Amino acid sequence: MGTLTDPREPLAGSSYSTPSTAPPKENSVTAERKRILVVEDDDFTSLLIQELLDFHGYSVLRAADAVDAYRLANELRPDLILMDIQLSDSSGLEATKWIREVDALRDTPIVAVTAFAMREDQRRIMESGCDAYIAKPFHTDYFLETISQLVGAEPQGEA
């Protein structure tokens, strides 16, 4: 893991993606698209999750590291955060801690999406402030159902 800067300090060269601007798919009938912040440092996995969520009517924000996750969460107030636990710059658990310290984000659901699949890992992750845990690789139906339960919106489209 690299050196981590304080996310409250300006960061030169910071990169994150803005909300997906693609119009809702034809099968998406949600009046207001729920915004989900995907924190994932693997581009392929991040794009796969974005495509899945876009297809099911969600608006997706993407961050590749803990610092950008903290910044995006503060700026854009997502309805839910999908947090990879093993990020290149820090632990997703550290990012979860930072986010939980912000009053306006304290109740934002955070779902750990991780390859750490041992029972002890799950216990540690849940104790760190995550609201749910999804092991990679995940089953699409379970993934979408978990998100739906936490944001209070049914996913649109077929899984």
Can you give the pLDDT at residue 155? 62
Q: What is the CATH number of domain 33-151?
A: 3.40.50.2300
Task: Calculate mean pLDDT across residues 34-60.
Answer: 96
Can you give the pLDDT at residue 27? 40
Q: Which amino acid is at 32?
A: E
Task: Calculate mean pLDDT across residues 72-80.
Answer: 97
Can you give the pLDDT at residue 32? 78
Angle at CA 106, nearest 5°, toward 105 and 112?
90
Rounded to two decimals, what is the model's pTM? 0.79
Helix 140-151 and helix 43-55: axis angle, to 10°? 70
Task: Give the span between the Cα atoms of 60 and 17, in whole angstroms.
Answer: 9
Task: Kindly report, residue by residue over 85-138, the tens digit of the pLDDT.
Answer: 999 888 899 999 999 999 999 999 999 998 877 788 888 899 999 999 999 889
Can you give the pLDDT at residue 156? 62
